[in-house]
C-alpha cells in the first residue's frame, strides 16, 4: 500500500475510534482494500449515519457497499414478462473440464485428437492411405495433423503426421481452393489432403477440413422465449461500462427502451455469459493501473450487485474466461465458489466450465470463451487485430469450428491441458456456438450453425489501443429459441 493510502486509512481509523467505534481485524482488512477504490471519508460518513458507536464487523461495512436498487420508471402492469410463465429447460450436456481423464499425457492427448477427428473423414473417404505407406507417383488421400507450416512466395509447405509417419505437402497457388484453405490451416489441426505423390512429396489438389453442418430441426414445440448472449463484462476494471450494463439490467426488468425493446425483454428467459465476468488480478503487466476494484472477490461482489437485479425467473449461465480466477489453460473449470460466493448468495446462477455444451429447450449451445481466437488472428496471414471487424471475427470463429477443434494450436497463445483425452474436439454439431474474448461482436450463420461473438462491456483499453483493435461495447445478442433468429440490442448511445 502506498504512503498516501496508508495515511488515509490511519486518518479513517483515528476518526472512527475518536467517535467511539471499534473495527474487527477483518473489517480493518476490508477498509484497507477499499481504500484503493473508495473515498474513505464517504465511507466514514455512511458508517456513522447507519450505526451507533459499536464494534463494526466486516458484514456491517459490506451492507453499505451494495449498489442502490435501480428505480422503477414503468408501471408494473405495462410489462408482462412472458419468460415468467415458461418453465426453464436447461441441461448441461458436457463440461469439458469435467470429462478429463486424470493425469498428464502428451502423446495420448494428440493420439486421441487424431482418432476423434479422423472419424469425420472416414464417413466420406473409404480409401485413406496411411502416411507410412505412401508411394511415389500415386493418387492419395491422407489424414494428418499439421506439425509445420511454411509460407513461401510461390507455395505453402505443410508437414503432416499420422500414427504411421510424416510427409511433406506442397500447395501451389494454381490449386486455388487448396491454396486458399492452406492459408487458413492452423498448426496441430487435423486435415485431409488429396493429391499426387512425386518422390516423397505430396502435391495437394484439395485440402479438406472436418467441417460442420447442422440441419435445423422444426422446433415449433419450443416456447417462444429468448436467450440473451453476452460476454466479457470485466467488472472491476476502470473501463467496465457500468452505465451501459445498468441499462441492460433495467431493460431485462422492462424499465429501459421503447415498446419494441420492452416486448423483446418480456420474452427473455436465459442470460448466457461466455466468460471474463471480472477483470481479475495480475492478468497482464501493469493491470493495476486499470483496475477500480483490487481483489477478485470484491470484483464478483460488485458484479453480484448487478446480477441480483436481473429478474429471478431468468436463468443465468456463466463460464469463465482468461480473466476469471481459474487456471488460464483450456478446459477451464467453473469459477470456484470461494470467488463466486457473492454471486451465488445474490441469486441462482449456473456456473459451468469453459467450454461447455448446454441444451436449452433442446437447442444445443456450445459455450466457449474463445481463448484460441488469438491463435487464429496471429496465424492466418490476412487477419490482424487492427482489421478485426464483425466480418473478420465471423471468419475467425468459422476457422475454429470448421476444424472441429476449439483450441488446436499447442504451445502458442493458448494454454491447453494435456490430459489422456482431448475434450476440445467438437464431436456433436451445435445449433449455436457462443464465444467472446476479443470483444468484437459478430454473428455468422455457418452451414446451419449460428456462430456468435457477443463483444464486450469494457471501453477500449490501452492494450487494445496498442493493438489497433476497436471493441464493441454494450451490445447483447438476443436469440429466439424457436427460430434461432439473432437480434442485436445496443445499450450505448
**How many whole angstroms from its chain centre is CA 13?**
42
Least spacing, CB of residue 370 vs Fe ion, in Å: 9
Give yes or no for a contact between 481 and 360, defined as CB atoms under 8 angstroms apart: yes
Residue 171 · residue 151 · CB < 8 Å: no
User: Minimum distance between the CB of residue 490 and Fe ion, rounded to whole angstroms?
Assistant: 19
Write down the least CB distance from residue 275 to Fe ion, Å.
7
What's the closest the beta carbon of residue 333 comes to Fe ion, in angstroms?
Answer: 18
Looking at the Cβ atoms of 227 and 440, the one nearer to Fe ion is: 440
Nearer to Fe ion, 129 or 374 (CB): 374
Provide, rounded to whole angstroms, the least separation between the CB of residue 150 and Fe ion: 32
Provide the edge-to-edge strand list for the sheet that holds 350-351: 350-351, 315-319, 268-274, 226-230, 475-480, 486-490
Name the grid cell of 211.
Answer: 467441417
Spell out, one character per residue from 214 to 243, where the chain touches Fe ion: x when CB under 5 A holds, - when not. Answer: ------------------x-----------
Q: How far is the CB of 380 from Fe ion (least distance, A)?
A: 21
Q: Which of residues 146-185 bind Fe ion (CB under 5 A)?
A: none
CB neighbour burial string for 331-348, b if at least 16 within 10 angstroms, e if fewer: bbbbbeeebbebbeebee
Contact residues for 287 (Cβ-Cβ < 8 A; gap 6+): 279, 280, 281
We find the least distance from the C-beta atom of residue 300 to Fe ion, in angstroms, to be 16
Least Å from the CB of residue 431 to Fe ion: 24
Q: Which is nearer to Fe ion, 276 or 475 (CB)?
A: 276
Whose CA is closest to 280, among 458, 418, 442? 458
Please give the Cα distance from 347 to 328 (Å, whole number). Answer: 26
3-state secondary structure 331-355: CECCCCHHHHHHHHHHCCCEECCEC
Nearer CB in complex with Fe ion: 188/276: 276
Q: Which is nearer to Fe ion, 373 or 481 (CB)?
A: 373
DSSP string for 19-56: TT-EE-HHHHHHHHHHTTTS-HHHHHHHHHHH--SSEE
Rounded CA-CA distance 40/4 in Å is: 12
- Restricted to residues 271-290, the positions that interact with Fe ion (CB under 5 A) are 276
Nearer residue to Fe ion within complex by CB, 60 or 324: 324
Burial of 350 (0-12, 13-18, 19+ CB in 10 A): middle
**C-alpha–C-alpha distance, residues 204 and 195, integer Å:** 4
Whether residue 443 contacts residue 433, with contact meaning beta carbons closer than 8 Å, is answered with: no
DSSP state of 385: G
Residues in 247-276 at the binding interface with Fe ion, rule: CB under 5 A: 276
Q: Which of 370, 480, 485, 365 is nearest to 430 (CA)?
A: 365
296 neighbors 276 (Cβ within 8 angstroms): no
User: How far apart are alpha carbons 270 and 185 in whole angstroms?
Assistant: 35
The DSSP code sequence of 78-115 is G---HHHHSPP-EEEEEETTTSPPSS--HHHHHHHHHH
What lies within 8 Å, CB to CB, of 5 at 6+ separation is: 35, 36
CB of 439 to Fe ion, least distance (A): 6
How many chain residues are in contact with Fe ion, going by CB under 5 A? 2
Residues 328-357 that bind Fe ion (CB under 5 A): none
CB closer to Fe ion, 129 vs 458? 458
Nearer to Fe ion, 144 or 456 (CB): 456
Residue 310 vs 440, nearer CB to Fe ion = 440
Minimum CB distance to Fe ion smaller for 95 or for 276: 276
Cβ at position 74, least distance to Fe ion in Å: 32
Smallest gap from Cβ 382 to Fe ion, in A, equals: 24
**357 vs 454 by CB, closer to Fe ion:** 454
Contacting Fe ion within 74-103 (CB under 5 A) = none
Q: How far is the CB of 234 from Fe ion (least distance, A)?
A: 6
By beta-carbon proximity to Fe ion, the closer residue of 369 and 404 is: 369
Chain residues that interact with Fe ion, rule: CB under 5 A: 232, 276
Amino acid at each position: 500500500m502506498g504512503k498516501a493510502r496508508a495515511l488515509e486509512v490511519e486518518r479513517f481509523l483515528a476518526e472512527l475510534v475518536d467517535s467511539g467505534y471499534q473495527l474487527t481485524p477483518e473489517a480493518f482488512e476490508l477498509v484497507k482494500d477499499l481504500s484503493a477504490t473508495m473515498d474513505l471519508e464517504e465511507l466514514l460518513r455512511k458508517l456513522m449515519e447507519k450505526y451507533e458507536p459499536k464494534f463494526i464487523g466486516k458484514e456491517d461495512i459490506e451492507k453499505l457497499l451494495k449498489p442502490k436498487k435501480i428505480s422503477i420508471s414503468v408501471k408494473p402492469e405495462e410489462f408482462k414478462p412472458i419468460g415468467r410463465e415458461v418453465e426453464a429447460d436447461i441441461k448441461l450436456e458436457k463440461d469439458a473440464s469435467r470429462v478429463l481423464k486424470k493425469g498428464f499425457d502428451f502423446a495420448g492427448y494428440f493420439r486421441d485428437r487424431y482418432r476423434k477427428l479422423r472419424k469425420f473423414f472416414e464417413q466420406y473417404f473409404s480409401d485413406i492411405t496411411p502416411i507410412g505407406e505412401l508411394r511415389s507417383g500415386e493418387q492419395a488421400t491422407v489424414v494428418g495433423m499439421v506439425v509445420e507450416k511454411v509460407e513461401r512466395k510461390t507455395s505453402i509447405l505443410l508437414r503432416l503426421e499420422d500414427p504411421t509417419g510424416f510427409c511433406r505437402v506442397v500447395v501451389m497457388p494454381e490449386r486455388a481452393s487448396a491454396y486458399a484453405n492452406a492459408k487458413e490451416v492452423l498448426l496441430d489441426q487435423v486435415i485431409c489432403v488429396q493429391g499426387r505423390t512425386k518422390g516423397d512429396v505430396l502435391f495437394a489438389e484439395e485440402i479438406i477440413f472436418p467441417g460442420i453442418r447442422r440441419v435445423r430441426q422444426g422446433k415449433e414445440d419450443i416456447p417462444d422465449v429468448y436467450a440473451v448472449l453476452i460476454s466479457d463484462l470485466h467488472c472491476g476494471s476502470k473501463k467496465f461500462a457500468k452505465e451501459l450494463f445498468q441499462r441492460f439490467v433495467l431493460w431485462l426488468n422492462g424499465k429501459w427502451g421503447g415498446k419494441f425493446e420492452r416486448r423483446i425483454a418480456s420474452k427473455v428467459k436465459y442470460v448466457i455469459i461466455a466468460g471474463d465476468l471480472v477483470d481479475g488480478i495480475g492478468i497482464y503487466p501493469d493491470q493495476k493501473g486499470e483496475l477500480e476494484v483490487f481483489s477478485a472477490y470484491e470484483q464478483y461482489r460488485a458484479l453480484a450487485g448487478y446480477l441480483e437485479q436481473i429478474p429471478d425467473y431468468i436463468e443465468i449461465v456463466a463460464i469463465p474466461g482468461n480473466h476469471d480466477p481459474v487456471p488460464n489453460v483450456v478446459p477451464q473449470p467453473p469459477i470456484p465458489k470461494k470467488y463466486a460466493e457473492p454471486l451465488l448468495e445474490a441469486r441462482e446462477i449456473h456456473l459451468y466450465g469453459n467450454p461447455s455444451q448446454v441444451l436449452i429447450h433442446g437447442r444445443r449451445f456450445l459455450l466457449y470463451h474463445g481463448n484460441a481466437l488469438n491463435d487464429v488472428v496471429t496465424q492466418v496471414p490476412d487477419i490482424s487485430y487492427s482489421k478485426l471487424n464483425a466480418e473478420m471475427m465471423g471468419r475467425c470463429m468459422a476457422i475454429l469450428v470448421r476444424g472441429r477443434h476449439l483450441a488446436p494450436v499447442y504451445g502458442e497463445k493458448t494454454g491447453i491441458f494435456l490430459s489422456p483425452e482431448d475434450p476440445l474436439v467438437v464431436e456433436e454439431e451445435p445449433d449455436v456456438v457462443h464465444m467472446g474474448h476479443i470483444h468484437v461482436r459478430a454473428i455468422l450463420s455457418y452451414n446451419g450453425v449460428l456462430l456468435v461473438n457477443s463483444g464486450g462491456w469494457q471501453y477500449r483499453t490501452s492494450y487494445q489501443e496498442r493493438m489497433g483493435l476497436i471493441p464493441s461495447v454494450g451490445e447483447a445478442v438476443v436469440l429466439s429459441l424457436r427460430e434461432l433468429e439473432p437480434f442485436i440490442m445496443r445499450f450505448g448511445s
